[in-house]
Amino acid sequence: MNEQFRTPPDSQSQAVLIDRLAEVAVRVGLGLKPGQELVMTAPLEALALARRITEHAYKAGASLVTTFFSDEESSLLRYRHGRDEGFDTASDWLYEGMAAAFRNGAARLAIVGEDPSLLAKEDPEKVSRANRARSKAYMPALSLIAGSDINWTIVAAATPAWARAVFPNDPEDVAVSKLWKAIFAASRADTPDPIKAWEAHNAELHARMRMLNEKNYAALHFRGPGTDLRVGLAEGHEWRGGSGKAKNGVVCNANIPTEEVFTTPHKDRVDGHVSSTKPLSYQGTLIQDIQVTFEGGKIVEAKARTGEAVLNKVLETDEGSRRLGEVALVPHSSPISQSGLLFLNTLFDENASSHIALGQAYSKCIRGGGAMSEDELASRGSNKSLIHIDWMIGSDRVDVDGITQDGRAEPLMRGGEWVSA
């Protein structure tokens, strides 16, 4: 965090800060180019931010902005009144259209702000089936996103249901105000010059990324309470962090906010046991105190204090859902960690802690991966799956060593902090 860019958010109106966040989303997150189309998704409660993003997109030269709004109450009606066989159905036509838009050069922006407990009381089997159907339908579009064929980004809006979950002891209006304040701070929208603040932050992440790429470790070794995990890294892996160039030549920040540097693990070279250090909020279920054991890259045992049934349903999604697609390093001193908040939203919580992700790997984290076939990526150790779910394994009690190509262990993080610059 570059504190020299920080000003007290209380001195700025919420409307001004929402506008700044929208500008960050378009200029930093997307790097939107004149003539580009934009496909945006958002919850109904994020209308104010969606409108400001639309305005900044057109000011940046967008040819067309198309927004799809979702309604959580309508989603619940499906579980209350929908036919059982309908949970194996997804809007293929919609996702095929999105994939076509991306192939034709459109950018992608998602505004998140979902209720973390929306589906907590619904049948886990139906939730799992609906998620699987959606994942299959979305795969043609997701592959273009995960492969960095297009410029894309994710930002957040403070919605009442999400705010109530993060601040359960406050009146709704106070909770929403507090959540907006936290979003603005994490996204650097509460600075005098957010664009300049992001330039400085990206430079820091790029320096960390270059150091790790020069080291070219064969593996990472995580040790801490309930954790002794060796994560082998894919052949020809590359570390990424901060802004990066998509295949269409546009520089973008895929996540607003972001504090991580990340790469691709080898799908067959993960061994040991690991415990989560923060709860995972997944599809309306809070999965707490996850404990899993890996053998030969695959999870062979999984437990959780709460949400264990949902966790095991996730692991049954496909062959790749029991293997890792990402490993990321985040210092415990990250601003999101220091906020002391559990956001119950992966976009934020993953940036509070080092983490791993079950499922799909990013081809951009393999040298030359963008031009490789699925078989070529797999031969390097890259995982394939319908899911990509991040969960947190870092804390101020977790150490990380880098394992060199000749097997030596080098201190990389101690007590959750980088050992050297």
Residue 292 has pLDDT above 60, yes or no: yes
pLDDT digits (tens, 9 = 90+) for 358-410: 999 988 899 999 889 999 999 999 999 989 999 999 999 999 999 999 999 99
Residues 50 and 155 in one domain: yes
CATH number, position 133: 3.40.1830.10
Decide: helix, strand or coil at residue 381. Answer: coil
- Looking only at the bridges linking them, the beta strands covering 280-282 and 251-252 are unpaired
pLDDT digits (tens, 9 = 90+) for 146-175: 888 999 999 999 999 999 999 999 999 999
Residues 284 and 388 in one domain: yes
Does residue 63 fall inside a structural domain? yes
Does residue 204 fall inside a structural domain? no
Residue partners of 372: CB distance under 8 A and separation at least 6: 363, 366, 380
Q: Among candidates 86, 64, 65, which has minimal Cα distance to 75? A: 86
Residues 135 and 277 in one domain: no
Does residue 247 fall inside a structural domain? no
- The structure tokens listed for 75 are 């989603």
CA 139/CA 236 separation, integer angstroms: 25
pLDDT digits (tens, 9 = 90+) for 307-363: 999 899 999 999 999 999 999 999 999 999 999 999 999 899 999 999 999 999 988
Where in the sequence is the domain holding 337, given as residue range(s)?
216-237+259-418
Does residue 251 fall inside a structural domain? no
- The structure tokens listed for 121 are 């009381």
Question: How would you label 311-349 residue by residue, b for 16+ Cβ within 10 Å and e otherwise?
Answer: bebbbebbebbbbbbbbbbbbbebbbbeeebbbbbbbbb
Does residue 197 fall inside a structural domain? no
pLDDT at 12: 63
